[in-house]
Amino acid sequence: MIDDRLRYLLLRYYQKRASAEERDELMELLRDGAYDEEARYLIAELIDSQSRFGEVLEDGRAEEILRNIFRAEVPAREGEDLYAGDEADEFEPAGRWRMRIFRSLPAAASVVLLAFLGIYWATNGNPLILFGNAATSENAPLAVAAGQLPPAADKALLTLWDGTVFSLDTTRIQSPDKPGSAPPGFEIDREGGELVYVGTGARKGYNSLSTPLGGQYRLVLPDGSKAWLNAGSTLKFPTSFEAGTRRVEVTGEVFFDVKSDKSRPFIVSLPHQKKNGELVEIAVLGTEFNVSSYSDDPVIQTTLIKGIVKVKKGREVKILSPGEQAEVKKAETGESGIEIRSVDAQSVAAWKEGMFEFNDSIEVIMRQISRWYAVEVEYEGNVGEKVFMGAISRKESASEVLKYLELTGGIGFEIKGNKIKVKAI
């Protein structure tokens, strides 16, 4: 649908994440003239959503203030900020909301005028951008804030090869069984907020780092490679890497920044999938990529940010280039093979930078929320397959995130204790 594509391109542009190709595509859509009605519909939709915050724009004022989101006919010079408008107006209504409105002066008379509204959460400056069908009911319910459900924190469990367990936060490593003891070869870099493993001469075996639901952590391996663990994830790694290979095992979601070593490929195995089908492995020499393999997700996804990645399932092998994602459906889905598609890799890995970036159905989104806030999710009614698009800081409480999702319409939430009920409205 052209509406969905327009929303997506506007969202990418506002986030300053649009590629040159995406900016060109947006410009062509606006130049065409055939999509004026759709563009103006989106304007009305966005203005309507803003009225909830006490900021109602007069008829025609949006088009007067907000014109041509980028210069149509003038190619950018090297080093020029393609996103910088000629002017920016900022309105700050009473309360905690800030609405920022960007504009740039007309560059071509043929370019359609459009409104582009964004909401800023004033407490930390993180942008919230929600595009979707705006709620039309003045009485659309807001998420119950009886329980704020705070976001995840830096915490994890470290289990050594011999079974000794240590709990971690950003400053301490402690063992409930051996108070005052520290795991050999490990230390916490308090400035970087990460666990550093320098390796030991211990006998061969596997250590594991696990984040609970509502937790995240970062690990530096002996070769200098770094791993970011999302909530509900586990990374198993050897006490020392062998001469010819560096092999680790993953469940959940982990972002890797792999130190280049042509003599020792870095291999990520997903052994928990073997019982349900062929073993899935990811092999690299030095690169940045994200792997997601949660037990409650129907697919395994490997997304490449930089470098080259080889994805293997049984005898099938596919090579990824930056900006591509390999998707392997689990055996229980009845489908097989490795599917490659182009994606916004930075958006997929936005969680590592402390952001939710949504472009999915509510059920997919709620799986992310349930892990991050350590909550249970249940559904009431048919929530459908509507796609929700937006971005918001993962530092916000669950009630705030849900409140913003409700503004897109068609969905409501109720929080009771550590449970979230999703309701079709």
**What does the pLDDT read at residue 36?**
65
Query: Please, what is the average pLDDT of the chain?
Result: 74
What is the count of structural domains for the chain? Answer: 3
Q: What is the CATH number of the domain that holds 279?
A: 2.60.120.1440
Q: Are 280 and 408 in a shared domain?
A: no
Q: In the structure, what pLDDT confidence band is assigned to residue 279 with cuts at 50, 70 and 90?
A: confident
Phi, psi of 31 (to 5 degrees): -70, -35
* CATH code of the domain containing 365: 3.55.50.30
User: Are residues 195 and 283 both part of a single domain?
Assistant: yes
Question: Is the residue at 54 inside a domain?
Answer: no
Mean pLDDT across 61-68:
39
Q: Which residue has the tokens 């606006």?
A: 30
Asked if residue 161 lies in contact with residue 239, where contact means CB atoms within 8 angstroms, the answer is yes
Together in a domain, 282 and 240? yes
Looking at the structure, tell me whether residues 306 and 253 fall in a common domain: yes
Separation CA 84–CA 249 (nearest Å): 44
* pTM assigned to the model: 0.70
* Residue 74's pLDDT band (cuts 50, 70, 90): very low
**What DSSP letter does each residue of 72-122 carry, written as one string?**
SSSPPPTT--TT--SEEEEE--SSSEEEEEEE---S-TTSPP---EEEEET
Listed range (127-141, 219-233, 294-308, 351-365) with the worst mean pLDDT: 127-141
Please indicate, yes or no, whether residues 167 and 247 belong to a single structural domain of this protein.
yes
Provide the β-strand partners of residue 327: 301, 339
Share of the chain above pLDDT 70, in %: 64
The verdict on residue 395 lying in a domain is yes
- For residue 83, being part of any structural domain is answered with no
| Same domain, yes or no: 175 and 300 | yes
Residue with more model confidence, 145 or 415: 415
Is residue 395 domain-shared with residue 291, that is, in the same domain? no
- The pLDDT of 2-12, averaged and rounded, is 69
Which one of 350, 371, 399 terminates a domain? 350
251, 377: one domain = no
274, pLDDT greater than 60 = no
pLDDT at 277: 57
Give the end of a domain, one of 350, 372, 388.
Answer: 350
Assigned domain for 212 exists = yes
Residues 233 and 376 in one domain: no
Burial class (CB in 10 A: 0-12, 13-18, 19+), 337: exposed
Residue 124 above 50 pLDDT?
no
pLDDT higher than threshold 50 for residue 89: no
Q: Is residue 384 part of a domain?
A: yes
Phi, psi for 274 (deg, rounded to 5): -60, -35
Domain match, 242 and 366 both: no
Domain membership of residue 17 as a residue range: 1-38
- Is 147 inside a domain boundary? no
Q: Which of 83-97, 129-143, 193-207, 210-224 has the highest mean pLDDT?
A: 210-224
Q: Is 300 helix (H, G, I), strand (E, B) or coil?
A: strand
Which one of 322, 350, 378 terminates a domain? Answer: 350
Q: How far apart are CA 406 and CA 44, in angstroms?
A: 18
Q: Span 270-296, mean pLDDT? A: 82
Q: Is position 27 within any domain?
A: yes
Same structural domain for residues 243 and 309?
A: yes
Residue 33 inside a domain? The answer is yes
Together in a domain, 235 and 326: yes
What's the pLDDT at 324? 96
